[in-house]
Structure 1
Amino acid sequence: MTTTTDTRRGGLLFQRSRVAKRDQTVFIGKLVVAGAIGAVGVLLQLQGGWVSHLIGIFILGALYAHMVELQHQCLHHTAFTSAKPHRIVGIPLGIPMMVSYSHYRVRHLQHHASLGTPQDSEFFGFDTRKPLTWGVLARGTFSYDRFLIVAREILRSWRGTWKYDAGQIADRRRREIITEYRMMILPIAGAVAATCAGYGGLVLQLWVLPLLVAIPMHFLLELPEHILCDSDTTDVLRNTRSIKGSWFSTWYTNGNNLHVEHHAVMTVAINRLRERHGEVTACAKFVERSYPAFYRAIVREANRNSGRSA
């Protein structure tokens, strides 16, 4: 493992900034847009045609993945000007994909602290340091077994046997995580009750089938962050990737494309990362023009490594 002290760190890229009222207004606007998209998805599902159902399933699945990216901003306390609303808003943002806000937060902040070291471990469990093959990609893309892990966490929380498996955390954080996993029984019980009452079709259309879309979409959103970067250094200019992207991809990923900018100072509001991208383009090692360009590189790498392992 190597470290780098970069002389260019006196620029805007590494400057800290507080969340302003404007940043909070922007995030609230994102929540309003997400709510409107969800309403459209539900309305499409309530229409009679199968085409409307398919479109609605895709929209809701894409929305559920987007909501986890909004939750990610809450993890860093960069959505609101005060700390308290972040958990209040962050918890429901993760419910459709069964993501515990507090569990995600402690693991993700450890990821920021340990990036470039052997201790680095992300919440969603995909190791970007392993050789990339089509088999590895397929397992990550369709990682539906994650819900078995969530079910285990819920069961352990209700039994009082839940333990944090990645180091030491404060008792308060542990209680918050247990509470959130216990709360997850409510949407599950609601879905079971609705199914028993004869509304199983709606449960499928509004939640289960959209999850089949959300899981691979979320994986593909997070894949560019560190894969095929220099994993043996703590220098964010070498171990992380940024993608310029379009206004749409920046909105949909909630700025996750500007990932070097985010790791440089994780307390900067997401909507203010774009102004730092010029410095990243000038000095970071891994910068892509667009998502298609990145995925083409992934296909080439997977083909190369899969051919070697054949």
Structure 2
Amino acid sequence: MTHLEFIAGLDPARRAALQVRSDRKGLAHLAGHLGLLVSLAALIIAQVPFWPLLMLPYGVALVFLFTLSHECTHATPFASKRLNEVIGHALALPLLLPFTWFRYFHLAHHKFTNDPARDPEIADQPRPQTWRDYLIYLSGWGYWRGNAGLIWDHARGRVSAPYLPPRQHGAMIREARLLLALYALIALSLLFTPLALWLWIVPALVGQPFLRAYLLAEHGHCPPVADMLENTRTTLTNRIVRFLAWNMPYHAEHHALPMVPFHALPRLHAEIETHLKSVSNGYGEFSRDYVAGLKSAESTSAAVR
């Protein structure tokens, strides 16, 4: 069964129930995520014993706000449209992720999922095939460099990707210029206090490899086919990861019905799990399988040479 066949067979009332959004559930989850960040930040500021070690869990929790930004592009974490917009734009600063651009980038990804020529996630930068590319990918270098370059280009009025509607170019340019101004203020603040260094820059750098490994599992080694139950992977994991990732490990479910909010994805999973074609039992299993593929790719490359 494909995702289209599953949707066609889904009772309309059931589908409508799965797509109900909730400010209460969204705000409760956000409070938990931000509460974790604030608690860890307070310990770092207080410089409790071994406080530098806390920057790893803090950094992971910080960069995983990416999954909330992603949800906001679909306007699903909260019932309030304005709340989705405000949160999405607020996350642009710490994530180096302009929200207006990201919305259209991500919609194009959903439309052309895993299409090597048209999916913007892989069209210009394919997933790593060698150990060297894999380690560079995990470092987050491509993410930071790519997004910084994007903001700089947009701030100069250079908006060119075909999936970006011309009517939104002005908004993207204004957002990029505002972000640059805010980053300049943060850089200036470092002359007076190291808070931005310890509460943003260093944690974001050390946390990013964990987000990269998580994101690679969403579509890595999935075939370039149209069926969302096959071109997208669901990764079975623990509650902590599901919490930090806003239930996005249920990723095939999300791609099959992207308007289902994060809190309803476990219910959707229970209904669709027997039809999933790309599933991993944890991120460790996926990473081991992916690394095995890298070894094969390197061996093949050496044989060709």
Query: Do Structure 1 and Structure 2 share a fold, with TM-score over 0.5?
Result: yes
CA 1:106 to 1:167, structure 2 compared with 1: closer, same or farther past 3 Å? closer
Which secondary structure does the structure 1 equivalent of 2:237 belong to? coil
State the match for 2:301 in structure 1: 309
CA contact (8 A) 2:18 2:268 kept: no
Give the counterpart letter for 1:184 in structure 2. Answer: L
CA deviation after TM superposition for structure 1 residue 305, in Å:
2.2
Give the counterpart letter for 1:266 in structure 2. Answer: P
State the match for 2:205 in structure 1: 212
State the match for 1:137 in structure 2: 134
Equivalents in 2 of 1:250, 1:124: separation in Å?
A: 28
Which secondary structure does the structure 2 equivalent of 1:127 belong to? coil
State the match for 1:242 in structure 2: 234
CA contact (8 A) 1:261 1:273 kept: yes
Deviations 1:201-256 (A, max 9, x none): 3232112111212321221121111111111x111121111112222221121112
CA deviation after TM superposition for structure 1 residue 19, in Å:
4.9
CA deviation after TM superposition for structure 1 residue 115, in Å:
1.6
Which secondary structure does the structure 1 equivalent of 2:31 belong to? helix
Q: Does 1:278 align with 2:274?
A: no
State the match for 2:15 in structure 1: 15
RMSD: 2.7
CA contact (8 A) 2:236 2:249 kept: yes
CA 1:125 to 1:78, structure 2 compared with 1: closer, same or farther past 3 Å? farther
State the match for 2:126 in structure 1: 127
CA deviation after TM superposition for structure 1 residue 34, in Å:
2.0
Q: Which runs of 5+ in 1 are unaligned?
A: none
CA deviation after TM superposition for structure 1 residue 158, in Å:
3.6
Deviations 1:78-100 (A, max 9, x none): 02223222111111123212111
**Equivalent residue runs for 1:71-82 within 5 Å:** 71-82=69-80
CA contact (8 A) 1:74 1:87 kept: yes
Equivalents in 2 of 1:188, 1:8: separation in Å?
A: 46
**Equivalent residue runs for 1:13-92 within 5 Å:** 15=15, 17=17, 19-20=19-20, 23-48=22-47, 51-55=50-54, 57-92=55-90
Deviations 1:44-80 (A, max 9, x none): 222335611221x113311222211111111101022
CA 1:116 to 1:122, structure 2 compared with 1: closer, same or farther past 3 Å? closer
Give the counterpart letter for 1:244 in structure 2. Answer: L
Q: Does 1:151 align with 2:148?
A: yes
Equivalents in 2 of 1:251, 1:69: separation in Å?
A: 10
Match of 2:191 among 189, 196, 202: 196
State the match for 2:221 in structure 1: 228
CA 1:304 to 1:246, structure 2 compared with 1: closer, same or farther past 3 Å? same
TM-score by length of 2: 0.87
Match of 1:162 among 158, 165, 168: 158
State the match for 1:95 in structure 2: 93
CA deviation after TM superposition for structure 1 residue 191, in Å:
2.0
Match of 1:254 among 246, 257, 278: 246
CA 1:116 to 1:98, structure 2 compared with 1: closer, same or farther past 3 Å? closer
Deviates more, 1:116-125 or 1:290-299: 116-125
CA 1:5 to 1:283, structure 2 compared with 1: closer, same or farther past 3 Å? closer
Equivalents in 2 of 1:47, 1:272: separation in Å?
A: 38
Equivalents in 1 of 2:301, 2:144: separation in Å?
A: 30
Q: Does 1:178 align with 2:202?
A: no
Give the counterpart letter for 2:102 in structure 1. Answer: Y
Equivalents in 2 of 1:229, 1:80: separation in Å?
A: 30
CA contact (8 A) 1:78 1:267 kept: yes
Q: Tell me the number of residue pairs that the alignment of Structure 1 and Structure 2 aligns.
A: 299
Equivalents in 1 of 2:198, 2:24: separation in Å?
A: 32
Q: Which runs of 5+ in 2 are unaligned?
A: none
CA 1:177 to 1:123, structure 2 compared with 1: closer, same or farther past 3 Å? farther
Give the counterpart letter for 2:15 in structure 1. Answer: Q
State the match for 1:115 in structure 2: 113
Equivalents in 2 of 1:262, 1:141: separation in Å?
A: 24
Equivalents in 2 of 1:28, 1:6: separation in Å?
A: 32
CA deviation after TM superposition for structure 1 residue 11, in Å:
3.4
